[in-house]
Amino acid sequence: MKKNIKLYIVIPCYNEEEVLPETTKRLKEKLNKLINDNIISKSSRVMYVNDGSKDKTWDIIKDINAKEELFTGITLSRNRGHQNALVAGLLTAKNYADVVISMDADLQDDINAIDAMLEKYLQGCDIVYGVRSSRENDTFFKKASAEGFYKFMSLMGVDIVFNHADYRLTSRRVLEEFSNYHEVNLFLRGIFPLIGYKSDIVYYERASRFAGESKYPLKKMLSFAWDGISSFSVKPLRMICSLGFVILFISLIIMLYSLIQKIIGNTVDGWTFIIISIWFIGGLQMISIGIIGEYIGKIYSETKQRPRYAISENLLEQKDN
Ligand code: UDP
Ligand code: MG
């Protein structure tokens, strides 16, 4: 079995001066152990991605890089947000690594899950998703909102792994495939399941933030959720159409009701006509918007120009070798 994997760990950092020294210390121990066990090669690295931090994060990263062989970094021209920083790191690391693991800087992702992830990779998985087994360390609100988020996403037709954030292992060929996704409205945890290949899950306990504050306040989380839905699903557009049919159906009932009222003589002149018109035209308009929505949905998926397939094995090539 192939060992000595060239592993890169990509970590986006935004104003993380408080946690970087500790994260570095723990990852150094971890990597050295994996190197001693011959699981990863000496050329493996931790790659910090400074996402336009306003504090000393980049100075600290440069300092660590000067002192520690196993640590390197890149910095973005300004703050572009976690997802963009992650892409920058993944696409840079793929040029050097066999395998890339992405994780957060704040030690919330248990670094001991790395062993299990590499094990799964050695067993033939191309993607290994880190999944939180419990959220005991999250506040009630964070837990409820985060779990609601995953449920709502799948209700809205977005295929994601439950309770998986961005702690994941990807092989180089997955990243090569990923580089063909050119969308700018990023929701990475939705893209990787689309890529395919053999994947598996590793469970880990999510710790609380080592130091500093969350860079994902509720407002950012909500806009992230909406980004996920609107970048992956045309279901909201479909719902307009369905709503149109519901309203049209209601208008039939209203029609019957108001005709009966008219026959009984319970109405003033003109009421029946107005009520029927309002409901009927309302339903018709809703359906029309829904039909336009269907076409917009098509334009939306065409403009993304996502790859249509990825070949995982080609017997022709195997014979040539
Ligand atoms: N992060 C980033 N750019 C940003 C915001 C956050 O690179 O604009 C990084 C941050 O440094 C951390 C990771 O994204 O490594 C996750 O952020 P955080 O821990 O604050 O989110 P939470 O765990 O609270 O959801
Ligand atoms: Mg965090």
120 in a structural domain: yes
pLDDT of residue 216: 76
Prediction pTM value? 0.83
Helix (H, G, I), strand (E, B) or coil at 242: helix
66 in a structural domain: yes
106-143 pLDDT, tens per residue? 988 999 999 999 999 999 999 999 998 876 667 787 77
Distance, first Cα to last Cα, the chain: 19
Domain that holds residue 174: 7-232+306-320
Instruction: Compute the distance from residue 14 Cα to the ligand 1 centre, in Å.
Output: 6
Length of the chain: 321
Instruction: Identify the helix (H) or strand (E) that includes residue 176.
Output: helix 172-178
Work out how many domains the chain is built from and give that number: 1
pLDDT of residue 166: 92
Ligand 1, residue 79: give the atom nearest the CA: 8
278 in a structural domain: no
**Pocket probe mutation, ligand 1, options 17, 90, 104, 210, max atoms within 8 Å of Cβ:** 104
62 in a structural domain: yes
261 in a structural domain: no
Distance CA 113, CA 128 (A): 10
1-13 pLDDT, tens per residue? 568 899 999 999 9
Instruction: Compute the distance from residue 69 Cα to the ligand 1 centre, in Å.
Output: 25
Which CATH number does the domain housing residue 192 bear? 3.90.550.10
Q: Which of 168, 8, 173 is closest to 74 using CA atoms? A: 8
pLDDT of residue 186: 85
Nearest listed ligand to the Cα of residue 108: 2
259 in a structural domain: no
Ligand 1, residue 214: give the atom nearest the CA: 20
Nearest listed ligand to the Cα of residue 221: 1
Note every long-range contact of 254-258, with CB atoms under 8 Å and residues 24 or more positions apart, other chains counting.
Answer: 254/279, 255/279, 255/280
Nearest listed ligand to the Cα of residue 18: 1
The list of the chain residues with pLDDT below 70 reads: 1-2, 135-137, 319-321
